[in-house]
Amino acid sequence: MYTLKELIDQLLNIKKLPTLPPVIFILEKSLNVKEPDVHRVSRIISDDPPLTSALLKLANSVMYTARRKTTTVQEAIVRLGFKEIRKLVFDVGMVRYVSALPKGLIDPQKFWEHSIGVAFCMEEIQLRTGLRDHDGSSAHVVGLLHDLGRLISATYLPDVHQNLPDNEQSEDPRKSILDLEAQRIGIDHTQIAAAVLERWGLPLEIVNCVRFHHQPDVAPKIQRKDIYLLHLADSICRIGRVGDSGEGRLKEIKQAVWDTLGLESARTEEILVQVREKIKNSGVLSSIIGIKS
Ligand SMILES: [Fe+2]
Ligand SMILES: [Fe+2]
């Protein structure tokens, strides 16, 4: 059994946990200003061949059809806009991170599908509720990162990590995940991820979403609605078995969660259809980096 500090020290120092690709942090600084500089962002992306390739493919994909093909990074940035660039940078970074890790107990392709699925699901819920995050890209980013703690524990603590059973019988699904992890490891995956993301210097808003994604009711008030959004997206993907982060299937979502966001549970299937469609279309991205989808 570890304390949180011992565990994080062990992961970061002894096990040499890799960070997300440095290009994410460099671009975060350049994009997180009032008016990002297209030339600067373009130079950073051009130094990263897989990112450049993903950017050009996305800019020329059906979603952004134009008469003329985009052949330069700068043109692609202008066509897509900075919000889409930020999402893409995290997409590519996360795929690269997942595919580079040593084999653990979690299937990298299923893990990727779950992460991108939750990101897409958040966007689908936003469309139907009118809820918007302040910068138009944060929901996507927290969706991608929300189960990072599961990935880390599966890869670096295989002796204590174990896939969790489907919790269809459980009266309180939230309890079964976090409690089982706490019993086995001493802390749960939300605490692991929050501590690691904090050390990597990601903004507190992202860290909080990840930390409270199974317990939105105890999240800081100012962010509670955003975190309910993440919680609902994750729950819908677990009900529909969109990918898998090893947490097992969920049987139902509490009515209070739907009510908080002002959405009807009857829309679950319609949302899942859209999410699966978007995952299919994101196959281009994952195949560029090495995970087949
Ligand atoms: Fe989770
Ligand atoms: Fe999840």
Domain assignments of the chain as residue spans, ordered by start: 4-18+103-288, 20-100
Residue 247: predicted pLDDT: 85
The ligand with the least distance to the CA atom of 244 is: 2
Residue 213: predicted pLDDT: 96
The ligand with the least distance to the CA atom of 164 is: 1
Q: Cα of 229 to ligand 1 centre, how many Å?
A: 14
Q: Cα of 115 to ligand 2 centre, how many Å?
A: 7
The ligand with the least distance to the CA atom of 114 is: 2
Low pLDDT (below 70) residues in the chain: 1-2, 12-16, 62-67, 104, 158-176, 283-293
Q: Supply the pTM of this predicted model.
A: 0.86
The ligand with the least distance to the CA atom of 233 is: 2
Q: Cα of 160 to ligand 2 centre, how many Å?
A: 19
Q: Cα of 180 to ligand 1 centre, how many Å?
A: 12
CATH number of the 4-18+103-288 domain: 1.10.3210.10
Q: Cα of 79 to ligand 2 centre, how many Å?
A: 32
Per-residue 3-state assignment (H helix, E strand, C coil) for the chain: CCCHHHHHHHHHHHCCCCCCCHHHHHHHHHHCCCCCCHHHHHHHHHCCHHHHHHHHHHHCCHHHCCCCCCCCHHHHHHHHCHHHHHHHHHHHHHHHHHHHCCCCCCCHHHHHHHHHHHHHHHHHHHHHHCCCCCCCCHHHHHHHHCCHHHHHHHHHCCCCCCCCCCCCCCCCHHHHHHHHHHHHHCCCHHHHHHHHHHHCCCCHHHHHHHHCCCCHHHCCHHHHHHHHHHHHHHHHHHHCCCCCCCCCCCCCCCHHHHHHHCCCHHHHHHHHHHHHHHHHHCHHHHHHHCCCC
Q: Cα of 190 to ligand 2 centre, how many Å?
A: 10
